[in-house]
Amino acid sequence: VGFQKILTLTYVDKLIDDVHKEFRDKYRNEFQQKGALGLLNGTFDFKDDFMRLLRDAEESSKVRAPTVMKTFEQSLKSQKTVKCMIETRGEKPKEKVKNKKNKGSKKDGTEAVAVPSKASAADKQPSAAGDKEELTKDEILQKNREEFFRRHMKAGEKSRSPKPDAQKEKGKKPRVWDLGNSNAKVLDYSNSATNGSAEACPVEEFDPDMALGDKNREPGRLYDLEYESDDEGEEEKVVQNPSKPSVKKGGLGGMFGMLKGLVGSKSLTRDDMDPVLEKMKDHLIAKNVAAEIAVQLCESVAKKLEGKVMGTFTTVTSTVKQALQEALVQILQPQRRVDVLRDVMDAQRHRRPYVVTFCGVNGVGKSTNLAKISFWLIENGFSVLIAACDTFRAGAVEQLRTHTRRLNALHPPESHGGRTMVQLYEKGYGKDAAGIAMEAISYARNQGFDVVLVDTAGRMQDNAPLMTALAKLIAVNAPDLVLFVGEALVGNEAVDQLVKFNKALADHSMAQTPRLIDGIVLTKFDTIDDKVGAAISMTYITSKPIVFVGTGQTYCDLRSLNAKAVVAALMKA
């Protein structure tokens, strides 16, 4: 007993505890009555009791089954979730400290639990009031360890239990759009009746103010672009010719020399205009005008002004600027003006639909601005059939279908005498675009639609096969209006796009007089502030008018080009 490590018996600890408690309970009264004298004079016959306790301990050790190692499911580690095993940067040092502290407590606790005793059951029975006072230090320490281990286990379960619930709450939730519908049936297009047909899409209810934007607008009116110039009162500096000697200061000679430069007796030369034209060229390029076109504009202004006598009290800068402004306004106002409403009414008199084809590079906003033009036509009383000829881009047909539902919600058949004002004609993906356009035009003629808007796939101007397909679509269907959709953000690229689109339509056309681009739709005009040079570049190259200007995301954000407003923004310092 003195050297427990020598005697390797499993019941030694249990035997010592039982002997200690049996001896204490048997001679408790004698100790309390006689005190210290009882220890010296008393006779303690404890041999039989000790042998009985020893036999009980030996028997219990034989009956006890050998310890079996726990399985993973029985261990505490199996109760942990994957999330609680992930260590974050902020929690890493704290967890390590806790684990180090708890390792010893867990071991001590398991040892204490692994050695149950019969005496612990006896302690639970009612005993005298002095029991607790006479507990040894080892018993107190053991109880404290058991309580600490029990509290630690409960705390661990509480901290781990909410983690799976929190993980479920953090799951992805569906986004609810402002114009959307939370009903899942509305978003399910798998069995849509409009796929591969020209039937009207179902009407969807939503807030019309969100789609229309301006509440004070006049229905059916196409407003002009507006721009206020705030540099009209700027004073122009007199640009002196560096090649000529300067007039001497003071005296009548200096005064008359200054007046002679202002009064209209001086003719402009190239040397006088070169410094001003160089600044004007850099200014145009900074406003997104293509560099090649900016040079050509300055050259044309120089040829026009060379040898011209300046007006009274005018400077070289103001004269050159005025001439450049007039040239820019003339560029933006071509000889032939496209009037879509007049042409649609003329087609109605001939009992045929008016066909408009949209083409352009990828991502410029063809489908969005097609929907805006559809809304404008509907508000003017014309019915529209949208031909989904973009059979390549994923989601192109669904995008047009959504626009058709929105437009039908804004203009329901009840408001137009039971007549559906907009429908979508589509045949799915991977089909011939020219064939779909031909079928859509024939359907519109039979059903009495006023306008057919043909949406085509975006293509780069260098892609020969796709440009050939576009030329085929235009040559076969002979639309009334071919609109090139370009964004206002481009600079030099606008020239390359328009030149190559026109060249591809001319080269791949089977007719003797090939059909080229008739007009331009300038999109994303609200994103460029006063850098409006793309409008100049596009009209200068094609000599075709800008028919529509897109200025936002709602159906009302469609404008007609105001040449003076664009030039004012372009000339702003």
d(CA 219, CA 217): 6
pLDDT for residue 112: 41
Q: Within this chain, do residues 400 and 506 fall inside the same structural domain, yes or no? A: yes
254 part of a folded domain: no
Q: Within this chain, do residues 283 and 426 fall inside the same structural domain, yes or no? A: no
pLDDT for residue 136: 74
Structural domain that includes position 304: 267-332
Q: Within this chain, do residues 373 and 317 fall inside the same structural domain, yes or no? A: no
Q: Within this chain, do residues 295 and 384 fall inside the same structural domain, yes or no? A: no
What sign does the dihedral 117-107-102-92 (CA atoms) show? negative
pLDDT for residue 227: 61
Residue 523 pairs in a beta bridge with 487
Q: Within this chain, do residues 326 and 419 fall inside the same structural domain, yes or no? A: no
Residue 225: closest CA among 549, 573, 553: 549
CB 302 within 8 Å of CB 275: no
Q: Within this chain, do residues 400 and 491 fall inside the same structural domain, yes or no? A: yes
d(CA 552, CA 213): 10
102 part of a folded domain: no
- Tokens 């973009």: give the residue: 390
Q: Is 8 helix (H, G, I), strand (E, B) or coil?
A: coil
Query: 530-557 burial by CB neighbour count: b if 16+ within 10 A, else e?
Result: bbbbbbbbbbbbbebbbbbbbbbeebbb
CB 53 within 8 Å of CB 133: no
547: part of which helix (H) or strand (E)? strand 546-550
CB 108 within 8 Å of CB 150: no
Which of 300, 332, 364 lies at the terminal end of a domain, its last residue?
A: 332
**How many angstroms from the chain centroid is the CA of residue 197?**
32
d(CA 488, CA 232): 25
Nearest 10 degrees: CA dihedral of 56, 57, 61, 64? 60
d(CA 556, CA 401): 19
Q: Within this chain, do residues 521 and 432 fall inside the same structural domain, yes or no? A: yes
**How many angstroms from the chain centroid is the CA of residue 467?**
31
pLDDT for residue 193: 45
d(CA 26, CA 14): 18
Which of 332, 350, 370 lies at the terminal end of a domain, its last residue?
A: 332
CB 211 within 8 Å of CB 555: yes
pLDDT for residue 544: 86
Amino acid at 165: D
Q: At what angle do helices 533-542 and 270-286 cross, to 10 degrees?
A: 110
pLDDT for residue 160: 53
Q: Within this chain, do residues 423 and 442 fall inside the same structural domain, yes or no? A: yes
**How many angstroms from the chain centroid is the CA of residue 430?**
28
pLDDT for residue 344: 94
CB 338 within 8 Å of CB 545: yes
492 part of a folded domain: yes
Q: For 405, left (φ over 0), alpha (ψ -120 to 50), or beta? A: alpha
Residue 65 burial (CB count, 10 A): 5
pLDDT for residue 355: 96
d(CA 360, CA 461): 8
Q: Within this chain, do residues 313 and 351 fall inside the same structural domain, yes or no? A: no
362 part of a folded domain: yes
446 part of a folded domain: yes
Print the SS3 string covering 488-546.
Answer: CCCCHHHHHHHHHHHHHHHHCCCCCCCCCCCEEEEECHHHCCCCCHHHHHHHHHHCCCE
Q: Within this chain, do residues 443 and 317 fall inside the same structural domain, yes or no? A: no
Give the CATH number of the domain where residue 481 resides.
Answer: 3.40.50.300
Q: Within 13 Å and on the Cβ side, how many CA atoms surround 488?
A: 25
461 part of a folded domain: yes
35 part of a folded domain: no
The number of domains in the chain is 2
d(CA 117, CA 22): 13
Which of 306, 332, 358 lies at the terminal end of a domain, its last residue?
A: 332
Q: Within 13 Å and on the Cβ side, how many CA atoms surround 104?
A: 4
Q: Within this chain, do residues 566 and 443 fall inside the same structural domain, yes or no? A: yes
The two structure tokens encoding residue 539: 């009209």
Q: For 42, left (φ over 0), alpha (ψ -120 to 50), or beta? A: beta
Flag whether the pTM goes above 0.95.
Answer: no
pLDDT in tens, the chain (573 residues): 455 566 566 777 788 888 888 888 888 777 777 766 666 666 778 888 888 888 888 887 776 666 677 787 777 777 777 666 666 655 544 444 444 445 444 444 444 444 444 444 444 444 444 444 456 777 887 888 888 878 777 665 555 545 444 455 555 666 665 555 555 555 444 444 444 454 445 555 555 555 565 656 677 777 777 665 554 444 344 334 433 444 444 444 555 455 445 545 578 888 889 999 999 999 999 998 988 899 999 999 999 988 888 776 778 888 899 999 999 999 988 777 788 999 999 999 999 999 999 999 999 999 999 999 999 999 999 999 999 999 888 899 999 999 999 999 999 999 888 889 999 999 989 889 999 999 999 999 999 999 999 999 998 888 888 888 898 899 899 999 999 999 888 877 878 888 888 888 888 777 778 888 999 999 998 888 888 888 898 888 888 889 999 988 889 889 988 888 899 888 887
The two structure tokens encoding residue 559: 């404008």
* DSSP H stretches of helix in 27-126: 28-34, 36-41, 47-63, 82-85, 92-114, 118-124
Residue 457: closest CA among 371, 363, 392, 365: 392
d(CA 440, CA 386): 8
530 part of a folded domain: yes
Q: Within 13 Å and on the Cβ side, how many CA atoms surround 487?
A: 16
Q: At what angle do helices 396-410 and 366-379 cross, to 10 degrees?
A: 20
CB 515 within 8 Å of CB 488: no
Q: Within this chain, do residues 308 and 381 fall inside the same structural domain, yes or no? A: no
The two structure tokens encoding residue 433: 């675009």
Residue 332: closest CA among 228, 485, 225, 230: 225
Residues in the chain: 573
Residue 484 pairs in a beta bridge with 359, 520
